[in-house]
Structure 1
Amino acid sequence: MIKGYSLPLTPKGTSNIVPAPPWHYVGNVLAIEYEAYAENIAAFLPEGLEFSSNQCAIYFIEWQYCSEFGEEHLDPVNSQYKETIVLVSANYKGTPVSYCPFIWVDQDLSLMRGLIQGWPKQLGETYITRPYNLPSKAASNLEKGGKLGATLSVKGRRLVDARITVNKKTETLPNPTFAQAINLRHFPELVLGRHNQPLIHELVQLKSRDLHISPIWKGDAILNFFDHPFIELSDLKPTKVKNSYYFSAALTVDDLSQLEV
């Protein structure tokens, strides 16, 4: 009998791209709040979500992951990846939520985990300045005036360029946040005559647990989006750049909620 949590299913069940949950994560986060055109945000929202405000956020994250019984973090190629997440504000039945129209990762296992959760993951290259608590011009220390940068490139083209300067510590997380985002889980149908009838098309909400946040640094930001021949990210480009944040986060994922539309 073949087995496993995800494809490929095999006799031993150890070759699947994604092992069974729970999935444990820890990562360093560079985030920037910004505003975009209201009509463009509304156009990206699926049925069941309503426009809330023009508030958005972009997250650049270096993650490290392990499964419940695995030690993937001791084999870094199976554990580490970087991603860029774009979130917009929305309302679900009168409750403020976040929705993810775009997200890019650089590992197949992260992409597969994301599709299971409803994150619309694609492959892309994210790079983030790493701070070090050492006396060096290259260190980008987390202190007043510390500067960090981040970029996103997709298929050989740069899509996002970001620079931040941290100024003070805060207790406030970026808004909107990703910990309980609502996603659209979608899996299409290939059978002829049913291409417009997806096998799965539903709103789901992530149910993360055991969330831990490090001290949060807040500051100013410069954020630029660039045009792409077919990726519509520039439709959500900033009209106003607001606060920046840098912090570390840890959480566990093993559940989600299927939402009524």
Structure 2
Amino acid sequence: MPWSGPLTPSGRSALVPDGPWTYVMDAVAVHARGDPSRMEKVLPDGLNPLGDLWFYVSDIISFSPSSEDLTYLSPGLLQYKEAAVFVKVEFKGKVYGFCPFMYVDNDVSLLRGIVFGFPKKMAQIEMTRFHDLFEAKRYGGVAYRSGYNLFRVIVEPSKREESLPFEGFGSWLLRRYLKPIELDEFVEFVPEITYGKILSGEGSLEVGGGFNDELEELRPEEILGGYIYSLKLKARGIRVLER
């Protein structure tokens, strides 16, 4: 069954086809530390921020075995850009990566993420593209929404790595919240990740925000590093932790 309407007998008109979904992405990211007392202002009650931040901009291809034909008939439906920030938090004695803000430029990704519990909004997103025959000194990504800058990341890679510090954030903690149907629950998303290349180096991060995006509470106090990387992602497990 499709994950959303419009529902027709064939299922072909659904905005979000059935899963399971897999994602391959190139990303530019900055690992930083901020003020936990400010982070609390944009986090749900019960989450204790530990100070670490992971800002990234990515170029993503998604695919599902239930809709393989979309890959070549309507590739634009499954390809999109994404910009997000994760905060390292403690919840009931366990460490998680919690995502308070996430932005995409594609309606399929928007609704699919909301179904999972990702707090997605639409935005204009740009990023330096990767290619095996292209090598830049610096890579960057930026996101804008409603006339204001959300954030910009710039990375000057210099060293190959085997893993990312983002792995230390743990599995992902999501909040599925839809007031009209009285849905409010915390969900654990356990990612299964296969890495391609990972490069680290110097990073810079500019965090803006606006009247409808309180990103100013997540402005960094210290930059720990910049990263560019490629990976494949799918869900290893999803479970409700608390309603």
Q: TM-score, normalised by structure 1?
A: 0.85
Identity %: 29
Alpha-carbon shift at residue 254 of structure 1 (Å): 7.4
Aligned to 1:140: 135
Q: Is the aligned partner of 1:21 residue 2:4?
A: no
Deviations 1:60-89 (A, max 9, x none): 111001111322332321110000011001
1:51-66 aligned at under 5 Å gives the runs 51=49, 53-66=50-63
Aligned to 1:236: 218
Paired residues of 2:56 and 2:153 also in contact (CA < 8 A): no
Paired with 2:143 and 2:99, the residues of 1 have a C-alpha distance of 16
Number of aligned residue pairs: give it: 241
Q: Secondary structure at the match of 1:214?
A: strand
Alpha-carbon shift at residue 128 of structure 1 (Å): 0.9
Alpha-carbon shift at residue 36 of structure 1 (Å): 1.4
Aligned to 2:234: 252
CA RMSD of aligned residues (A): 2.0
Alpha-carbon shift at residue 45 of structure 1 (Å): 2.5
**Which is helix-richer, 1 or 2?**
2
Paired with 1:21 and 1:254, the residues of 2 have a C-alpha distance of 13
Gaps of 5+ in 2: none
Aligned to 2:163: 172
Deviates more, 1:106-115 or 1:150-159: 150-159
Alpha-carbon shift at residue 180 of structure 1 (Å): 2.9
Q: Which structure: larger Rg?
A: 1
1:141-160 aligned at under 5 Å gives the runs 141=136, 146-160=137-151
Gaps of 5+ in 1: 190-197
Aligned to 1:192: none
Q: Is the aligned partner of 1:222 residue 2:204?
A: yes
Q: Secondary structure at the match of 1:126?
A: strand
Aligned to 1:193: none
Alpha-carbon shift at residue 202 of structure 1 (Å): 0.3
Paired residues of 1:87 and 1:176 also in contact (CA < 8 A): no
Paired residues of 1:4 and 1:10 also in contact (CA < 8 A): no
